[in-house]
Amino acid sequence: MGFLYRKLVRRLLFGFNPELAHNAAIRSAGVLQSFKLANLITELLSKAKDFPVSVAGLKFKNPVGLAAGFDKDCEVPKFLSRLGFGFLELGTVTLRPQNGNPKPRLFRISEKKALINRMGFNNAGAYQAARSLERLLPLDIPVGINIGKNADCSLALAPKNYLEALKILYPYGDYFAVNISSPNTLQLRELHQKEKLESLLDPMLDFASGQKIKKPFFIKISPDLEASELESAVSTAVSRGFGLIASNTTTRRDGLPQRWQNHEGGLSGALLKKLADQILKKTAMLAAGRVPIIGVGGVCDGPSAIKKLRLGADLVQVYSGLIYEGPFLVKEILEYMDKIGYRGGAR
């Protein structure tokens, strides 16, 4: 099936502007998920062996999840859950709706199987996401919700902005990812700094500790951090029991053809893989098993997923790989895991 995607569907989709193709895919998924038969067929086609794993108190049927940014408005989790994923991360959702950056803002570098995006958290806001999830949940796999900051909110007001979004979305997520690492929201990455990060996380923890059901939290970090910045972010996360997601897109341009060098935005896909693996390895060493870790960046097949698990990730996520390899990528990864006799771990 992956072969068919690469030979036929990809050619068709790549004839369109990337954002248009993405929106068309989301709309089609929205239609499909309302038909039982379509859900059933998708599930049958995506079926693969389970690799059960327990992470952060949640049970996953396999460790391969969808990365944030694909379903920003939480519109199609039901369809996505039929593609074999072990979990989904939806969003980034911000408290208030916002348009994001001017278009065009998503670019394919097909010859390198990479993407550049400067979407800027275009989304319909937390209330709209909650309404959608109210209708579409529960699913039979865990759902994470990734939360970010509104572009017009200052860093000083960021803690309140994140907290308000969290309060609206708390009933719907099985875990929450605090996104401090998108390169497309001005100053967002400054939230990695110790004091700023503490002031961001502590109110969320306070809120969560007052809730009946305790849910795990993760911080999604940048791959562009200096060693000392990474150490500080990991130690702040560990001290508060937050897991880590390594990593978001990079502003580095290593390996990018000359004509793309000056395109602003975050680079993902195959060109991010080496850097994302390095940051994952360092993160795992610093965290030393005290909190769970999700590895993301450049996963495009079985070996690249396994590498992240061996570097210390408890779970992995994919985004750009889905664009280049298609919706049966998860099945292909799981088949590879089966072929090499992979035995998942549990924490």
Ligand X SMILES: Cc1cc2nc3c(=O)[nH]c(=O)nc-3n(C[C@H](O)[C@H](O)[C@H](O)COP(=O)(O)O)c2cc1C
Is 146 among the residues that bind ligand X (CB under 6 A)?
yes
Nearer to ligand X by Cβ, of 101 and 320: the residue is: 320
Is 296 among the residues that bind ligand X (CB under 6 A)?
yes
Give the nearest distance from C-beta 299 to ligand X in angstroms: 5
Work out which of 48, 64, 119, 275 binds ligand X, going by CB under 6 A.
Answer: 119
From 236-244, 305-313, 314-322, 329-337, span contacting ligand X (CB under 6 A): 314-322
- Answer yes or no: 182 catalytic: yes
Residues 219-248 that bind ligand X (CB under 6 A): 220, 248
From 24-32, 132-140, 161-169, 264-272, span contacting ligand X (CB under 6 A): 264-272
Pairing between β-strand 266-269 and β-strand 114-117 as defined by DSSP bridges: antiparallel
From 27-35, 115-123, 207-215, 231-239, span contacting ligand X (CB under 6 A): 115-123
Is 72 among the residues that bind ligand X (CB under 6 A)?
yes
Using an 8 Å Cβ cutoff, are 49 and 3 in contact? no
DSSP code for 162: H
Nearer to ligand X by Cβ, of 79 and 277: the residue is: 277
Give the nearest distance from C-beta 268 to ligand X in angstroms: 3
DSSP letters for 241-290? T-EEEE---BS--TT--GGGTT--SEEEEGGGHHHHHHHHHHHHHHHTTS
CA distance 221 to 321: 20
Question: In angstroms, how far apart are the furthest CA atoms of the chain?
Answer: 53
Q: Which of 182, 222, 232, 268 is catalytic?
A: 182
Question: Number of residues in contact with ligand X, rule: CB under 6 A?
Answer: 27
Q: What amino acid positions are annotated as catalytic residues?
A: 182
The residues that touch ligand X, with contacts defined as CB under 6 A, are 67-69, 72, 92, 106, 115, 117, 119, 121, 146, 179, 182, 220, 248-249, 268-269, 272, 296-299, 318-321
